[in-house]
Chains A and B, each alone.
Chain A
Amino acid sequence: MNATAELLGAIREGEESIIGRLYDQHRTRFMIWAKRKFPLESTALIDIYQDAVIILYQNVVEEKVTELSSSLETYLFGIAKHLCLRELRRRRRAISQENEIPEVAVAPEFLRQEEQDHRQTLLKEGLRLLGENCRQMIEYFYYYNFSHEVIAERMSYKSANAVKTQKHRCMQQLKDLLKNASS
């Protein structure tokens, strides 16, 4: 197993601390490369680099990336390049729109978005109120897609069934929190 495959494996295993190593490994070369390529100041490039590293991490966790045909750095810089171009487009748009009257969002779409944002805020708040143990279990199950067996091993539960029971309790607790918050 080469270093990249090992790194991807560790990310998929939920080793969050690996992100710091990944960040340090490519930061210097990224800054040199990006400063030559894009007319963006260092603070914006650092922000973009952080976002790119997080996207890479989450893409691996969500198995959008399982193996790389190019090097990890090429993939990371590819994401960062896309983000740099998006930032440049956003800035150009902001300048061109400065003197224009802002468009008013179409009501139904606007309301749908608002409703969705509200639900997500409630969910986020609910997860925070659940406590670390439940939050971690839900993250492992719904985000990392870990099986009950893997979660049992990681979180030192006796069995997969014990995880299932605890997860059910956590989800019920979350539903109750949301119900209370909505009412």
Chain B
Amino acid sequence: MSDINPEELKNVLRAEMRQRLKAELSSKEAKASIRRRLRPLSWAATVLLAALALWFFWPTAAPDGPALFAEHFKPLPNALSPTIRGQEDQVPLDQALMFYDGGNYAEALQQFSDIPEAELPPGGLMYRGLSYLGVKDWNNAIKDLARAEAGPYQLSASWYRALAILAKGDIDEARNRLKTIRDETEHPFREQAEELLSKME
């Protein structure tokens, strides 16, 4: 085989090129096939990562303090004095409690303001605090209820104080106080505290 037939050489070059291109396309196909097979996995991984990221970084929805307050606030019935309307000789405390009973907390507070602080009995302090709650004056409510908590209205005042703190938006503080109430087996607002805590989770 001394001479090389150009046509034969061309055939060999053609076959060689064919082999080379086939190898290139097969390798391309194999890579694409791996990518196609991995695609569902990569999607799943992306979704999983996104879910994890959401779980980690999504701000935990804080309980809506004012809404929970509105849901759970029931005015403490007036146990200090019976409401006898129209009496001329009513003292300011009676008048304040009369307005309190009628749900007119602003007017009740007006009447409470006529009573000198030193003359305000513990019950008066308690109902003034509740009246403040009625007009959504959380700071004054908390102040009065804190003082009431030191007296004979300790248990009721602790519940309403916790509600006032919750309404003010101090969620952690309210939660702690509600937990204390819940854990006191004899507390008259134990069940309410438990229910409210479950809504705050």
Chain-A contact segment, one of B1-9, B71-79, B92-100: B1-9
What chain A residues lie within 8 Å of B28 (beta carbons)?
Answer: 20, 23
Complex: how many Å from CA A178 to CA B3?
A: 9
Interface centre among B9, B10, B22, B26 (most CB of A within 10 A): B9
What chain A residues lie within 8 Å of B22 (beta carbons)?
Answer: 50-51, 54
Contact status A50-B26, CB under 8 Å: yes
What chain A residues lie within 8 Å of B45 (beta carbons)?
Answer: none
Chain-A contact segment, one of B12-20, B128-136, B184-192: B12-20
The A22-68 residues at the B interface (CB cut-off 8 A) are 23, 46, 50-51, 53-54, 57-58, 62
The B160-189 residues at the A interface (CB cut-off 8 A) are none
**Closest residue to B18 on the A side, CB-wise?**
A54
B29 contacts chain A at the CB level, 8 A cutoff = yes
A-B contact count (CB 8 A): 66
CB contact between A143 and one of B1, B3, B4, B10 (< 8 Å): that residue: B10
What chain B residues lie within 8 Å of A54 (beta carbons)?
Answer: 18, 21-22, 25
The B1-55 residues at the A interface (CB cut-off 8 A) are 1-4, 6, 8-18, 21-22, 24-26, 28-29
The interface on chain A, measured as residues whose beta carbon lies within 8 A of the other chain's beta carbons, has a size of 28
Contact status B2-A123, CB under 8 Å: no
**Closest residue to A50 on the B side, CB-wise?**
B25
Complex: how many Å from CA A51 to CA B24?
A: 12
A92 contacts chain B at the CB level, 8 A cutoff = no
**Closest residue to A57 on the B side, CB-wise?**
B21
| Shortest beta-carbon distance from B27 to chain A in Å | 10
Complex: how many Å from CA A174 to CA B13?
A: 13
Contact status A175-B14, CB under 8 Å: no
A120 contacts chain B at the CB level, 8 A cutoff = yes
Given contacts A16-B21, A54-B25, contact A178 B1 (CB under 8 A): yes
| Shortest beta-carbon distance from B128 to chain A in Å | 79
CB contact between A123 and one of B12, B17, B18 (< 8 Å): that residue: B12
| Shortest beta-carbon distance from B24 to chain A in Å | 7
Interface centre among A62, A122, A139, A182 (most CB of B within 10 A): A139
A19 contacts chain B at the CB level, 8 A cutoff = yes
Contact status B4-A174, CB under 8 Å: yes
| Shortest beta-carbon distance from A72 to chain B in Å | 17
Residues of B within 8 A of A (CB): 1-4, 6, 8-18, 21-22, 24-26, 28-29
Instruction: List 14 A-B residue pairs with CB atoms under 8 Å apart, sorted by A's residue number.
Output: A16-B21, A20-B28, A50-B29, A53-B25, A58-B17, A123-B9, A123-B12, A124-B15, A127-B13, A138-B9, A143-B13, A175-B3, A178-B1, A182-B1
Residues of A within 8 A of B (CB): 16, 19-20, 23, 46, 50-51, 53-54, 57-58, 62, 119-120, 122-124, 127, 138-139, 142-143, 171, 174-175, 178-179, 182
Supply 12 further A-B pairs (C-beta < 8 A) apart from A50-B29, A51-B22, A124-B15. A16-B21, A19-B21, A23-B28, A53-B25, A54-B25, A58-B14, A58-B18, A120-B8, A120-B11, A123-B8, A123-B9, A124-B12
